[in-house]
């Protein structure tokens, strides 16, 4: 498999969804089956939903045939993501008809928020539609369904962060966990549906974040990923949407906590707790974040920094809030402060009016940065976004496809370059489990987020192991413990 295929597979896997379950499954309790699609935030939200329903007497199951309740946590980011969910709904329908007539079907997340009541008209089998800020209302909605009514709650909140709800860790490895720190997004990139499906940006109380991390250490976890649509925009001043910060009292403003402050608080929780964060945003990332990363060894040297395009004209049309020049300055600052920081990106190709010249600028930016990894997409028009309302989706599909192939090919060269550079070096690897290909080998990741496989010997999941890299495939470093 070459890197192009690997990258496509990675993207595909993120779209395929995952069945999530916990082992605890007491006899006689009602059973829920949750499937999640899309971003890490959705997976994290499913853990909140599981926590709320556990209190209602549900346990989880991986067998849809025995489920009383089937939930699908959905993604709207591209049309293809929505089509995947529609296909799953067809599958649930067949299960309901043939094997499990009593099961309740609920749609959660971004598609629920986007389509609201329309979902009930379009998909007759759906009993419950619930947006990302309404999960606390699940017990009430389930009662409505029990009473024979269809139930909908798509209320978007300015305050909800589920700060007090301890997520039930689903289907994880017991070593790495997601911790949500912000919800929503106020950036309004013209191509993006997220501000409409996830609402206004708001930050979670830092104390609850630190406490969750402390509890994770007690439970044996070794790594957390702080999650938000735009983590750099984190700002705690006592609650509320970020846009209302100016209305807060002077005292609240002076005692506010920024993302750099929060990162430092979490880094102090324990030196053996590794910290990652995602997603960063070039227009909001500040130098003090990079300084905190440099200061703490337990903050991983890896930044996912979506760029979307290398052309100033397209960046402006996308309302990204930075220019190519500003982005390059940020990259230079990161590299000057943390020379071995690994950087990945998201890129959209074929956005409205994109010319060959714009495309060449994207390719030349990639040559400048030489990203470690990349997640690359063809532009997909989303209903009600500014791009849909104001611009024409005028790049033919074959042109989008060809440009996508060109950026993927370039990324393949850069990724391989970075892999090969690492041969002969030694890295600390946090072991996350056994290699998928061999029971005799362990799998883990370096601070740079590179996957490493090495012979097991006496090491085990959760260990930090120094591994010398001997060779690489296109996506994995291979080595031995030293
Ligand atoms: N079409 C294609 N890709 C998109 N993304 C967001 N919206 C769209 C869209 N309408 C991509 C961006 C973002 C990633 C999560 O998904 O690259 O960073
Ligand atoms: Fe969407 Fe832009 Fe917000 Fe990212 S920063 S979630 S791309 S609106």
The residue whose C-alpha atom lies closest to atom 17 belonging to ligand 1 is: 346
Q: Cα of 308 to ligand 1 centre, how many Å?
A: 8
* Ligand 2 site, CB within 6 A: 185, 187-189, 192, 194-195, 229-230, 281
Look up the pTM and report it: 0.92
Separation CA 444–CA 450 (nearest Å)? 8
State how far Cα 65 lies from the chain centre.
Answer: 29
Lowest mean pLDDT: which of 89-93, 238-242, 412-416? 238-242
Distance 227 CA to ligand 2 centre (A): 14
**pLDDT, tens digit (0-9, with 9 covering 90-100), for 39-60:** 999 999 999 999 999 999 999 8
- pLDDT tens track for 364-396: 999 999 999 999 999 999 999 999 999 999 999
Distance 51 CA to ligand 1 centre (A): 30
235 pLDDT band (50/70/90 cuts)? very high
Residue 4 in this model has a pLDDT that exceeds 60: no
The arrangement of secondary structure in 426-481, i.e. its CATH architecture, is Beta Barrel (2.40)
The CATH architecture that domain 176-421 belongs to is Alpha-Beta Horseshoe (3.80)
pLDDT digits (tens, 9 = 90+) for 243-270: 888 888 999 898 999 999 999 999 999 9
* pLDDT exceeds 50 at position 10: no
Tell me how many degrees the CA angle 422-428-429 measures, rounded to the nearest 5: 95
The burial of 18, by beta-carbon neighbours within 10 Å (0-12 exposed, 13-18 middle, 19 or more buried), is given as middle
Task: Cis check for the bond before 279: say yes or no (omega within 30 of 0).
Answer: yes
- Which-ligand-closest: CA of 194? 2
Distance CA 29, CA 151 (A): 22
- Measure Cα distances from 224 to 69, 408, 451 in Å: 30, 29, 17
Alpha carbon of 96 to ligand 1 centroid (Å): 33
Class of the CATH domain delimited by 14-153? alpha beta
- Contacts of residue 249, defined as CB under 8 A and 6 or more positions apart, other chains included, come to none
Domain ranges of the chain: 14-153, 176-421, 426-481
Q: What would the mean pLDDT of 180-205 be, rounded to a whole number?
A: 96
**Around Cβ 433, how many Cβ atoms within 10 Å?**
15
Atom of ligand 1 lying closest to residue 308 CA? 17
- Looking at all shown ligands, the one closest to residue 228's CA atom is 2
**pLDDT value of position 17:** 52
Percent of the chain at pLDDT exceeding 70: 94
Q: Are the beta carbons of 383 and 110 closer than 8 angstroms?
A: no
Mean pLDDT of the chain: 92
Nearest ligand 2 atom to alpha carbon 229: 6
191 CA closest ligand 1 atom index: 10
Query: How far does the centroid of ligand 2 lie from the alpha carbon of residue 192, in Å?
Result: 6
Per-residue confidence at 170, pLDDT binned at 50, 70, 90? confident
191 lines ligand 1 (CB under 6 A): yes
């Amino acid at each position: 498999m070459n890197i192009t295929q690997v990258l496509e597979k990675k993207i595909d896997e993120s779209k395929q969804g995952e069945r999530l379950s916990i082992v605890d499954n007491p006899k006689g309790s009602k059973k829920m089956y949750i499937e999640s699609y899309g971003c890490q935030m959705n997976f994290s939200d499913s853990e909140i939903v599981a926590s709320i329903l556990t209190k209602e007497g549900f346990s989880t199951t991986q067998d849809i045939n025995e489920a009383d309740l089937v939930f699908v946590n959905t993604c709207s980011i591209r049309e293809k993501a929505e089509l995947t969910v529609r296909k799953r709904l067809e599958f649930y329908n067949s299960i309901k008809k043939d094997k499990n007539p009593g099961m309740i079907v609920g749609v959660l997340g971004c598609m629920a928020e986007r389509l609201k009541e329309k979902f009930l008209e379009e998909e007759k089998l759906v009993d419950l539609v619930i947006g990302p800020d309404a999960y606390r209302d699940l017990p009430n909605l389930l009662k409505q369904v029990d009473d024979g009514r269809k139930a909908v709650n798509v209320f978007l909140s300015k305050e909800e962060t589920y700060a007090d709800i301890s997520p039930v860790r689903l289907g994880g490895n017991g070593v790495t966990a997601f911790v949500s720190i912000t919800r929503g997004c106020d950036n309004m990139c013209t191509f993006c549906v997220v501000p409409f499906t996830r609402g206004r940006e708001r930050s979670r109380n830092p104390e609850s974040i630190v406490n969750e991390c402390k509890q994770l250490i007690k439970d044996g976890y070794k790594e957390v990923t702080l999650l938000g649509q735009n983590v750099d925009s984190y700002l705690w001043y006592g609650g509320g949407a970020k846009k209302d910060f100016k209305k807060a009292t002077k005292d609240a403003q002076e005692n506010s906590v920024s993302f750099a402050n929060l990162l430092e608080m979490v880094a102090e929780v324990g030196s053996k707790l590794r910290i990652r964060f995602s997603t960063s945003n070039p227009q909001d990332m500040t130098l003090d974040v990079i300084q905190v990363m440099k200061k703490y060894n337990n903050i991983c040297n890896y930044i996912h920094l979506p760029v979307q395009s290398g052309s100033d004209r397209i960046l402006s049309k996308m309302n990204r809030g930075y220019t190519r020049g500003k982005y390059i300055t940020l990259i230079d600052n990161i590299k000057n402060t943390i020379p071995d920081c690994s950087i990945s990106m998201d890129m959209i190709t074929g956005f409205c009016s994109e010319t060959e010249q714009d495309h060449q600028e994207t390719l030349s930016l990639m040559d400048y940065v030489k990203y470690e990894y990349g997640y690359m997409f063809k532009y997909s028009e989303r209903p009600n976004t500014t791009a849909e309302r104001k611009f024409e989706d005028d790049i033919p599909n074959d042109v989008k496809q060809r440009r996508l192939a060109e950026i993927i090919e370039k990324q393949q060269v850069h990724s391989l370059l970075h892999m090969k550079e690492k041969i002969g070096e030694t890295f600390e690897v946090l072991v996350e489990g056994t290699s998928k290909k061999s029971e005799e080998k362990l799998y883990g990741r370096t601070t740079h987020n590179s996957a490493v496989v090495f012979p097991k010997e006496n090491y085990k999941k959760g260990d930090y192991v120094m591994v010398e890299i001997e060779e690489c495939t296109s996506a994995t470093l291979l080595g031995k413990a030293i």
